[in-house]
Amino acid sequence: MERKKAQEDMIVYLNNVFIKDKAACISPADRGFTLGDGVFDTLLVLDGQLRHAKAHFARLLKHASVLRIKTNETPESLESAALHLLKKNKFVMGRYALRTTITRGAGVRGLLPPDESVPTLLMRVSSAVSPDSLPPVYAVISQTTRRNEFSPLSRIKSLQYGDNLLALLEAKDRDANEALILNTAGHISCSTTGNIFILEKGRLLTPPLSDGALNGITRTLVMRNTTVKEQSLTPEHLTEAEGIYLTNSLSGIRAVEKLEEKTIDSKNAFYNALTGLEVI
């Protein structure tokens, strides 16, 4: 009950209004709800500080433009709203996740969007678990679904996350907690929740964006701070890798300790150097 009450008292930011979570309402005709016609972003908040906010919000608006969602928001206006939201909730100390969702807004029935629409903007903050308290990463290579590297949606964080969900459910069925997703050519594209890097003969490799990898913020920071080669990766590369690492904005860099039935010594000296990078 305590936890439920605390969540009900949470303030969210919905369409330029700060409102209690339990009172927030979105139209049943919202195309984000009916068609997945929208995009989202999740960034880390540490002790009241938005981590890499400008990069996150600029990418979010760029992804919205891919779907031709027109909004008057800017990275600066979104950052300002996020900071006010933290103050409204009195989130000064601690680790939180800030999720921002933009949809095309309400529309009439049918696939084709209206010529004019008013986007829906929702920001919501929730507690984020420290990476140190997360369980070891046991991964499988998904057999359920493949990532379509030819689709523009593979390069944006759209609301259509069904493939990732199916892959993660498959991982759970196989006593794992993460799945790596192949593209249509049989190359590794990503994990269900982030980008992938491998260590091979002392070199750090990651799939190119053309293989269906999302241009993650943490991925970009890793590549900016250390030497990385973009290269198509096959399941055989993973089997022979000296280390496998997954990245996203909430957990930073995590080592895969088991892939399928093989134990991997990913938490090696190279991993310690990676986690020392300023990426979160």
**pLDDT tens digits for range 73-90:** 999 999 999 999 999 999
Determine contact, residues 89/111, Cβ cutoff 8 Å.
no
| φ/ψ (deg, to 5) at 158 | -85, 170
Question: CA-to-CA distance for 122 and 20, rounded, in angstroms?
Answer: 12
Q: What is the pTM of this model?
A: 0.93
In this predicted model, what pLDDT tens digit does every residue of 42-62 receive, in sequence order? 999 999 999 999 999 999 999
DSSP state of 178: E
Query: 56-60, long-range: CB within 8 Å, 24+ apart, which pairs?
Result: 56/100, 56/217, 56/249, 57/100, 59/157, 59/215, 59/217, 60/100, 60/102, 60/157
pLDDT of 8 higher than 90: no
Determine contact, residues 211/149, Cβ cutoff 8 Å.
yes
- Which residue carries 């964006």 as its tokens? 209
Instruction: Write down the pLDDT at residue 3.
Output: 43
In this predicted model, what pLDDT tens digit does every residue of 184-237 receive, in sequence order? 999 999 999 999 999 999 899 999 999 999 999 999 999 999 999 999 999 999
Q: Which of 133, 159, 139, 124 is nearest to 45 (CA)?
A: 124
pLDDT more than 90, % of the chain = 88
Containing 121, the helix (H) or strand (E) segment is: strand 120-127
pLDDT-derived band at 2 (thresholds 50, 70, 90) equals: very low
Show the domains of the chain with their CATH numbers. Answer: 2-128 (3.30.470.10), 133-275 (3.20.10.10)
Question: CA-to-CA distance for 194 and 212, rounded, in angstroms?
Answer: 12
Instruction: Write down the pLDDT at residue 7.
Output: 62
